[in-house]
Amino acid sequence: MLGNSRLQGLATIGTKTASDHVPGLLTVLTAFCLLIGTATASQAQSYPDRPLRLIVPFPAGGTVDAVARSVAQKMSESLHQPVLVENRAGAAGSIGSVSVARAAPDGYTLLMGTASTHGTNPAVQKSLPYDPVRDYAPVALVASTPYILVVHPSVSAHSLPELLALAKAQPGKLNYGSYGAGSSNHLATELFRAISNADIVHVPYKGGAPAMSDLLAGQVQMMFDVFTTSGPHIRTGKLRLLGVGAPRRSALAPDAPTLAEAGVPDFDASTFFGIFAPVGTPRNVVMRLNEDINRALKTTDMRERLAAVGAEPGGGSPELLGQTVVTEVAKWTQLVRDRNLRFEP
């Protein structure tokens, strides 16, 4: 066994050796951190140096897809790199959304999120595989379109007050269609019912197309829809527009009153389209994308493309989109709780 004096000597040598190397270690670590910082800054300055992917969590051919492809083309022009649109549909947008949440936070994989993926889904899905607030870095609000209240021409009401009077006189007689239980237009109608106390009956469909088909046939009498699909039928008289569900009148139908103006105070139900990156994406990359998208939204052709699908241009800071998500999630979660709504798993 070693004596105490021998142990003390070894301890002294070890202590001196470690102390002697501390300055050298700090120098190496400092140089390493500077190298990493320089590399990160260099990567940010060269961004983007390869094609980007914009994930659309819904099928090709719909409004979300059309908005995404329009903005992707403008982004490609300003970024000098292709922005490739990739449709990953399924589970009400969850499949595509979670794929972006799990992607590398380098600005090369983006998501076209909506009022469903980043608004109503958290309220109606018990086991959502992503968090719409914590898992993403908001980039820019691209566009929005308000829900509009339309009725079949066979309905005698020509205004919202007349519709409310009709629903009161004939409780449970008016049916409203939705894209499905828990869909965004279903929750919009539940918000309408909560504020107006209208006694109307829900008829859920498996998507917007069959719901619109039955509305046009008069099988259901009313529905909250968007200008994209209802606009052509309003113009031909196959549907009657009673009001717009936004705080302000829409440029797409300036003569139509808001629902708040027509008798349902504080009603606000719109669908929005926003671009998100994975959380942790460098701030300067987010701001580069934000500036390019805002610039694109000011061009005449982009505004015309959005108007063609019934949408109005958005814009603004990443924080604006982030606050929109927080507000939407809270609003619909509270509505589902207050109305004690239940949805199939």
Predicted confidence at residue 62, as pLDDT, reads: 87
201's enclosing H/E stretch is strand 201-204
d(CA 245, CA 145): 9
Tokens matching residue 16: 């001196």
d(CA 330, CA 119): 8
Q: What is the pLDDT of residues 146-196, one digit of tens each?
A: 999 999 999 999 999 999 999 999 999 999 999 999 999 999 999 999 999
Q: For Cα atoms 52, 43, 68, give the angle at the middle one, nearest 5 degrees.
A: 20
Q: Check the CA dihedral 142-148-153-158 and report its sign.
A: negative
**What residue ranges define each of the domains in the chain, with the CATH number in brackets?**
52-145+271-339 (3.40.190.150), 148-262 (3.40.190.10)
- Assign 3-class secondary structure to 250-312: CCCCCCCCEHHHHCCCCCCCEEEEEEEEECCCCHHHHHHHHHHHHHHHCCHHHHHHHHHCCCE
d(CA 295, CA 300): 11
Q: What is the pLDDT of residues 18-50, one digit of tens each?
A: 444 444 544 544 444 444 444 444 555 689 999
Most confident of 7-11, 14-18, 81-85, 252-256: 81-85
pTM value?
0.83
